[in-house]
Amino acid sequence: MTHGPLQVLIPVCGRQVPISPPIILAAALLLAPLATLAHVEGGATGGFLSGFGHPISGLDHVLAMVAVGLWGAQLGAPAIWLLPVAFPIMMALGGLLGLSGVELPAVELGIALSAVILGALILGAIRLPLAAALLVVGFFAIFHGHAHGTEMTPGQSAILYSIGFVIATGLLHAAGIGIGLIQHWQIGRWDAGRVALRGAGAVVLAGGVFFLWSALA
Amino acid sequence: MMRAAAWLLPLTLLAGVPIPAQAHLVNSGLGPFYNGALHLLLSPVDLLAVVVMSLLAGQSGKVGGRWAAIVLPLVWGGAAIAGLTLGTAIEAGWPGVALLVLLGVLVALGLRLPVWVMTWLSALTGLVLGLENGGALAAGESSFVAVAGIVATVLVLTLLTAALAVSLRADWTRIALRVAGSWIAAVGMLMLGWLFQGAS
């Protein structure tokens, strides 16, 4: 069956096609069994990455986190930094409640409502008093922590999962604040930035309505 | 030339065949002193406790920072020696984590605490985490030299972090400090929940 010193003839559609050994070896290597990657990363790296990825992987969570930053940017100092300071602590309190076995009613509804309410507040450019703003953000943060802070894969480092989870949440707030800075943009005398920021609120509101619909369906 | 090039594809595929990675660090390989230093640097709760205590001390001013830099390593070292000598391993872990929450909230609130409060908080932090360290070292048949490594690392970290916190002047940097405190408190709170569930 050989055709020349370095070729093998393979029958293809009734014709003998010469195939060189490197091609045969390459094809064989493509069939080499690879390590199965069906398990999550374990240990320290897995714990941190799992915690870090968790807030980012859920769009409902992402919307609310970014919305907190957007609203803080819209309200200005001191809300711009007080809201992102209060949110992680209240979110962790929600996680603590969840891990302690304390049940919260309608957690998914609470998460969806957080995007609806925050989106509406940004869209309407509503300036609540600071204490009320903190109350709104803190209240909804408990639902997010209860739902998402308690979903660590068994066997991973709890402290590194927690660190990753909190850092990712904080970075989402920072992203919201960064986006919120568009409010300072002007086109001539037109406050285009403020309109754009309210438009971002409308996007958050629309996303929240979608998740609310999904939670109720 | 063409024949050699034909082997490029299979050889590239061969190089890509995965083999198990050996990436775990067993010890520093530099003796017990550096093992002790690494023990602290690789223990997130201990590391966060030193950082948040130093941030709080620095936030309260130069005098608070100086006292923390003296009291924290000294008490930490004394408690670690006591734990190592008595062999009393504290398995719970929650006192150290609860301290993270307390200190993190104090940093997040932006409080300038009186020096005596700062000193007592430094002593409490050193006592709790030092005892935990000493107990853990006793279980691993470590020596007092490892404690010296831990104390030296605590000292250096406290000095650097407190000095950084004292030096912050711009408003946004003070805010970043408080945000860091809130993050550490949040981590501590979540960790308390995990400890409640028996995780580590």
Q: Considering only the beta carbons, identify the residue of A29, A97, A166 that sits closest to B187.
A: A166
CB A92 within 8 A of CB A142: no
pLDDT of res. A43: 55
Query: How far is Cα B105 from Cα B56, in angstroms, rounded to an integer?
Result: 10
pLDDT at A42 over 60: no
pLDDT at B18 over 50: no
A25/chain B closest Cα distance in angstroms = 6
pLDDT of res. B24: 33
pLDDT at B19 over 50: no
Mean pLDDT of A162-170: 89
Which of A99, A144, A151 would you mutate first to test chain B, the one with the most B CBs within 10 A? A99
Query: How far is Cα A143 from Cα B137, in angstroms, rounded to an integer?
Result: 40
pLDDT at B40 over 90: no
**Interface touch B20/A35, C-beta < 8 Å:** yes
Tokens of B119: 């000193």
Please give the tally of structural domains in chain B: 1
Q: Give the count of alpha carbons within 13 A of A116, CB side only.
A: 13
Which ranges constitute the DSSP H helices of chain B?
Answer: 2-6, 8-15, 32-41, 44-59, 62-86, 94-109, 115-139, 144-167, 171-196
Which tens digits make up the pLDDT trace of A98-143? 888 888 888 888 888 999 999 999 998 888 888 998 999 999 899 8
Long-range contacts of B172-176 (CB under 8 A, 24+ apart): B174/B110, B175/A81
- Residue A78: is the preceding peptide bond cis (ω within 30°)? yes
Query: How far is Cα A90 from Cα A147, in angstroms, rounded to an integer?
Result: 13
Read off the pLDDT band of B29 (50, 70, 90). low
Please give the biggest Cα pair distance in chain B. Answer: 80
Which of A65, A85, A90 would you mutate first to test chain B, the one with the most B CBs within 10 A? A85
Q: Considering only the beta carbons, identify the residue of B10, B178, B186 that sits closest to A166.
A: B186
Is B143 contained in some domain? yes
Q: Can you give the residue ranges of every domain in chain A? A: 1-33, 43-216
Q: What is the 3-state secondary structure (H, E, C) of chain A?
A: CECCCCCEEEEECCEEEEECHHHHHHHHHHCCCCCCCCCCCCHHHHHHHHHHHHHHHCHHHHHHHHHHHHHHHHHCCCHHHHHHHHHHHHHHHHHHHHHCCCCCCCHHHHHHHHHHHHHHHHHCCCCCCHHHHHHHHHHHHHHHHHHHCCCCCCCECHHHHHHHHHHHHHHHHHHHHHHHHHHHCCECCECHHHHHHHHHHHHHHHHHHHHHHHHHC
Read off the pLDDT band of B22 (50, 70, 90). very low
Tokens of B124: 């409490």
Mean pLDDT of B110-137: 87
Mean pLDDT of A155-184: 86
pLDDT of res. B158: 93
pLDDT of res. B105: 92
B98/chain A closest Cα distance in angstroms = 12
Neighbours of B91 (CB within 10 A): 10
Q: Which domain holds residue B182?
A: 31-196
Q: Considering only the beta carbons, identify the residue of B7, B187, B200 that sits closest to A163.
A: B187
Read off the pLDDT band of A149 (50, 70, 90). low
Higher pLDDT among residues A68 and B19, named by residue: A68
Higher pLDDT among residues B78 and A79, named by residue: B78
Tokens of B161: 């972090």
pLDDT of res. A5: 56
Is B7 contained in some domain? no
Amino acid at A140: F
Query: How far is Cα B48 from Cα B35, in angstroms, rounded to an integer?
Result: 19
CB B118 within 8 A of CB B64: yes
B187/chain A closest Cα distance in angstroms = 5
- Distance from the Cα of residue B122 to its chain's centroid: 14
Which of B178, B190, B191 would you mutate first to test chain A, the one with the most A CBs within 10 A? B190
pLDDT at B124 over 90: yes
Is B167 contained in some domain? yes
Which tens digits make up the pLDDT trace of B127-141? 988 888 887 777 666
Amino acid at B178: R
- Mean of pLDDT over chain A: 81
CB B129 within 8 A of CB B96: yes
**Interface touch B199/A152, C-beta < 8 Å:** yes
Is B25 contained in some domain? no
pLDDT of res. A106: 83
Is B19 contained in some domain? no
Higher pLDDT among residues A175 and B36, named by residue: A175
- φ, ψ dihedrals at A75, nearest 5°: -75, -25
Which tens digits make up the pLDDT trace of B61-82? 889 889 999 999 999 999 888 8
Q: Is the ipTM of this complex over 0.85?
A: no
pLDDT at A41 over 70: no
Mean pLDDT of A57-63: 86
A217/chain B closest Cα distance in angstroms = 31
